[in-house]
Each structure stands twice: as C-alpha cells, then as structure tokens.
Amino acid sequence: METPDAGLAYSVQAQAARYYSVSEGAMDEARQDYLDALPVAASVLCQNEAGRSFIDISNEIFCGAADWDPAKDPIWIDQIEFFKATGIGPALDDFLKRGEKAFQFDRQESQSISGRHYTVRLSRLRSTPYAPQRCLMSLIDKTMQVETEKNLRAEMLRDSLTGLPNRLAFNERVAAVFGDPLFKEGSHAVLVVDVTRFSRVNESVGALAGDELLITFARRLCSVLRPGDFLARTGGDEFGILIRLDRGMKDALRFADRIKAELSMPFHLSEMEICVDCSIGCALFGSHSNLPEELLRNAQFALKRAKTAGRTQLYEPDEAHAARRRFRIETDLRRAIEADQLELAFQPLIDLSTGAISGFEALARWDHEEDGHVSPTEFIPVAEESGLILPLGQWALAAALDVLADWDRQAGRKLPIYMGVNLSAVQIQRDDVSAVVAVALKKSGIEGGRLMLELTESAIVHDPERAAEVLEAMRALNVQVAMDDFGTGYTSLAYLQRLPIDLLKIDSRFVTGMLGDPDSAAIVRAILSLADALGMATAAEGVECADLAAELKRMGCTNGQGFHFSEPLGAEAALDYWMSRSA
Ligand code: C2E
Ligand code: MG
Ligand code: MG
C-alpha cells in the first residue's frame, strides 16, 4: 500500500509531467538520470505553499550518505534524521524563503569524531506551480580533507622527539589564557627551563644520548606538573611551562625550586648516568606584555640572566628595551665600521716619577648619527657579542699605529712613546692576532716595542692556553703586553707569573677613591708589591686629582692615567699635548 508521503511525491511528479507536457515516466527517468550522473550526493528539494520542505527526487549517493530510503522513509525534511543531525534543514528552509540564487556552507554530520564533513551547495531551480520554491542540493564530502588538515595541524603542534607540544602549541595555549574572559593580571606565569650546557653534553656523549637525555628530562618535568599546567618543548634544550598562580610570584618561584630539586637527581640513560643542571627564567602574565610570543621572549630574557646568576630570575620590564637597543646598536655599528665612521681618541699615560709621557692609549669613539656620542662601554660589549669586534679591533690597531707613524713624521723624529691598543678576549679567541699585529706593524713601519696591547683578565681566564700562545707570539714580535683593569677579574697568580706581561694597569675602581678608602688603598698597595715581585711595571687608571697622583708616586706606582693629566684627546690635540709636556 502507498504511504501518504509516496502518494504526495507521486502527485507532485504527475503535476510536473502535466506542466512540462511530457509523459510522467519519461520525465521521471530524465531527472533521475541527471542526478545519478552527478559524482556527488544530490537531491532536488521543494517547499510547498505551506512553507514545508520535502525531498522531491535524489540520487543513490545521497540516499547512502543521508541513510535515507525513498521507498520507506518520510520525505519531509523536518522528519529526516540526517537533516536534523547536520542542521541542514533550517538552513535549507531559510535559503528557500530568502530567494537567493545559490548558497554554500559547511556542515558536520554530528559532533562525534566519526561524523562526516560536507560542503553543502544549494542552487535555486525554477519554481513551478506545484512547488513554488525548489532547489538542487549537492553534498561534497570533505571528510578526508578535514581529517588530513587536522592531522597535519596536530603534527605541526607537536615536538616529534619528546612528543610534547611545541612552541607553536605553547603560544596558542598562552593566547587562550589571555583570551579567557576570566583572565586576571598576574594569574599565570611562563617558566622557561633550559638544560645547562646541553651542547657540551651533546658533544661529549653523542647526539643519540643527548636525545635520550632530552626525553628523560621532559618526562621528569611532566612529573612536577599540577593539573592544568602546560608543558611544551619550546626550543632545542628549552622547555616552556605555563602555570596558574594562586599566590602570585611566590608560587612561580616555589614551582621553579620544585623543578630544580626534581632535576638535580642523576639521569639514568641506557649507557650512562649523567647529572645536569638547569636554569629557569620566569615572566608573569599581563604585567608587561599581552602577546603570547612576547611572554615567552620575556621569560627567555630572564633565563639568560639566570644562566649567569645561577638562580631563577624574574623578567624585568627594561630587559626587552635593552635588548632592542643592543640590536639597534649592532646594526648601526656594523654600518659605521663599514663606512669608516669610528674614530680614535688618545689618552696619555704619565711616568709618575719624571712627569714625562710614557705612551698614549687609543680609545674607540663613535658619534652616532641620531644618538650622538655612544660610549665604548656600551658598543664594545655589543661588538664582542656579535663578532664585530674582529673588524673593529683590526681597524683600531691599524689606525692607532698609523697615527703614531704620522706623529713621528710631524715631529721629524721617532717619539719616545708607545701606543696602547685594547685587545678584546673575543679577538684572542677568534682572530689570528699574531698575523693581524704583524701586518699592522709592517704597514705602519712602527717597531713592535712601541706597541702595547692591553688585555683584560677575561682574555686569560676563558682560554689560558690560547692566551699564552698569543702572548708568546707577541713576545716574538717584541710587542709589549699590559693587563688592563687589573683587580676586577680572576686571573690566577700562576698565570700572571708564567705569562709575559710587562705592565699591570690597576683598575680605576680601586684608584679613584683610594685617598678616602683604606680598603682600596690596601688593594692598590698589594697590587703594587705583587707587580714589583713579578718584575712588572704598573699604571694606575682613573687618576683624577693631583693629591692622588702624588700619593701613587709615593707608593711606587710607575704610571698614572686619568682626567687629572688629560682626558682622551683627538690625534692632533694629543700631539700638541705631547709637545707642550716635552718642551
Ligand atoms: P679601558 O681600556 O680601561 O680604558 C680606560 C677608560 O677609562 C676609558 O673609557 C677612559 O676614557 C676612562 N678614563 C680615563 N681616565 C679616567 C678618569 O680619570 N676617570 C674616569 N672615571 N675614567 C677615566 P672609555 O674610553 O669609555 O673606554 C671604556 C672601555 O672600552 C675601555 O676601558 C676599553 O675596555 C674599551 N675600549 C675602548 N676602545 C676600545 C677598542 O678599540 N678596543 C677594545 N677591545 N676595547 C675598547
Ligand atoms: Mg685599556
Ligand atoms: Mg682599563
């Protein structure tokens, strides 16, 4: 027996056949053929005068996709499960009422994982007297594409070594916390944990064991997490942890302590047992930044400090500013070196017993186009960090020796003075100093004995073997060597005794305030007797007044350098100074 729905469908087709004046059977077949020929699920949907939508005709793919049997199931859209589960029903009603030509949208069959994804395309068909609103609906199955995208995305957010979320995923999570309407400033923190000297471990035990260490490290970190904390591998040997804070900053520091305690126990790898240390930097949410990447970067700034300080550090708001400034200095300094815009100033060293000039120290000067004078105490460290100190140092050496040669020419004789040039620890480590010095001496025609290279203690402490080689090479060239800023570093006395050093320059921090500070005076006295025992000459830096010069002379200090005698001068002024003092 015919169902009422089937009866209605029959009568619609019968009316249509009459309308197009073809036989009902031929009409039916033609339309079914068209739909069946389509490679996607398709069906013609109509809306009757009462505004109720129903399926007029559909192809087999559609019947399969919608799990709908035209012979048994109701034709009314509001009664078909598929249209309800996907929410296509209301969208369809709406489209048919609105009168647009075409409309397209995406729908998922249900929220369950197995639910298929469709792009639904509705194209309006001509209205007929029996069905005032008609359209063709095609369903394009996008499930494969959506799944692939989902997998790709999951892959993109995961670190393949540890299986942890990666930096991208971490930033997304941080963004979600910021986006939470209940978010409060200081309610969360980002910790960045770094395996101290991981590259050393990697080098000495091999990359495979290094990987194993990272995996074990990650596992340990996981064990410290509380519900709701989020751990990710944000860099090679760097892990980010997003934590919620109940009692502000104190919570973060306590958490960092827990991590340190957990990681302080030895790691058992398959072939060895290894102990590593970690450094932790921390940045609080919302206090200084509101961008996820910025928060991680801030924690990394703090981490950098933690590495030298040896304990957990909190981000300080000025750090980002200072880093930006360093970056700008680096860019501009590179340009200035290339454009030969740096200059040298020359500060005399005075023989305290005779008042004669022993030599000049060449000091780099940079007049920045916008910022004006930038101090070498600012740009030299940047140059050291960026490697720019190599071209800068070579330039300073060559330029200083050229100036001395020029002074000789102007005076018409070889001046009885030396030229002091500063040599950075980085140059010792990374440049071929002996070749550079030999070439500069040759080019300028200055004898090795008139060059005094000033090294700081750090040059020796970092790599004593290499420093010793360089100093031996200098001795072969007859170049003199001064230990600069003595007293601020940690040179062992053994090195001091072994290395060929001609002059100890006592750092100004002991000298300048010495008259009113017995402790500084005692240190200066100790350094003077040490130099005496080792057969080295001495120079006191930062001599700012006559009394100080007199006292240093009395104590037996060989040379004095400082504003009391002269500030650093331009090349011409320095030569004039020499002339006036030697007249
Ligand atoms: P330094 O080698 O210890 O140079 C001495 C510094 O003390 C100079 O600062 C000088 O201007 C300053 N000074 C001189 N007399 C006095 C005084 O009486 N009182 C006070 N308070 N300061 C005095 P400057 O020129 O700012 O240079 C700072 C540092 O920058 C230098 O310290 C040196 O370590 C580095 N530097 C400068 N030029 C070069 C260079 O060409 N190469 C390298 N590697 N380092 C350089
Ligand atoms: Mg110096
Ligand atoms: Mg110095």
Provide the 8-state DSSP code for 182. T
Give the nearest ligand 1 atom to 375 CA. 26
What CA–CA distance (Å, rounded) separates 353 from 537?
A: 13
Q: Smallest Cα–Cα separation from 166: which of 155, 175, 176? A: 155
Q: Is the CB of 139 under 6 A from ligand 1?
A: no
CA of 497 to the centre of ligand 1 (A): 26
In a 10 Å sphere around its CB, with 0-12 CB exposed, 13-18 middle and 19+ buried, how is residue 101 labelled? exposed
List the chain domain ranges: 38-145, 157-315, 346-363+389-582
Residue 2 has pLDDT above 60, yes or no: no
The CA distances from residue 266 to 144, 211, 221, 263, 269, in Å, are 47, 16, 14, 8, 9
| pLDDT value for 272 | 84
**Distance in Å, CA 131 to ligand 3 centroid:** 97
More confidently predicted of 577 and 1? 577
Q: Does ligand 1 lie within 6 Å of residue 420's CB atom? A: no
**Which atom belonging to ligand 1 lies closest to the Cα atom of 345?**
25
Q: What is the pLDDT of residue 6?
A: 45
Measure the N-to-C terminal CA separation of the chain; round to a whole number of Å. 133
Q: What is the pLDDT of residue 14?
A: 63
Q: In this predicted model, what pLDDT tens digit does every residue of 123-156 receive, in sequence order? A: 999 887 777 899 999 999 999 998 888 888 888 8
Is the C-beta atom of 484 inside 6 A of ligand 1?
yes
| CB of 548 closer than 8 Å to CB of 529 | no
- pLDDT tens per residue across span 557-566: 999 999 999 9
How high is the pLDDT of residue 106? 92
Q: Which CATH number fits domain 157-315: 3.30.70.100, 2.60.40.420, 3.30.70.270, 3.40.50.720?
A: 3.30.70.270
* Atom 25 of ligand 1, nearest CA residue: 363
Helix (H) or strand (E) holding 509: helix 508-511
pLDDT exceeds cutoff 90 at 11: no
Inter-residue contact 303 to 279 (CB < 8 Å): yes
Strand order in the sheet with 188-195: 230-235, 238-244, 188-195, 278-284, 313-314
SS3 for 527? helix
Q: What is the mean pLDDT of residues 222-235?
A: 93
Residue 8: what pLDDT?
A: 53
Of residues 461 and 41, more confidence is placed in: 41
* CATH fold group of domain 346-363+389-582: TIM Barrel (3.20.20)
Q: Whose CA is nearest to atom 14 of ligand 1?
A: 562
Above pLDDT 90, what percent of the chain? 68
Q: Which ligand has the nearest atom to the CA of 400?
A: 1
Q: State pLDDT tens for residues 14-70.
A: 666 666 656 667 777 888 899 999 999 999 999 888 889 999 999 999 999 999 999
* Average pLDDT across the chain, whole number: 90
pLDDT digits (tens, 9 = 90+) for 379-403: 999 999 999 999 999 999 999 999 9
Name the nearest CA neighbour of 361 among 560, 510, 524, 557.
560
CB of 508 closer than 6 angstroms to any ligand 1 atom: yes
Q: Is the CB of 393 under 6 A from ligand 1?
A: yes
What is the CATH T-level fold of the domain 38-145, as seen in this structure? Answer: Beta-Lactamase (3.30.450)
pLDDT tens digits for range 485-496: 998 877 777 788
How many angstroms is it from 429 CA to the middle of ligand 1? Answer: 21
pLDDT at 112: 58
pTM: 0.63
The C-alpha atoms of residue 123 and residue 142 are separated, in whole angstroms, by 19
pLDDT at 288: 60
Asked whether the predicted pLDDT for residue 1 surpasses 50, the reply is: no
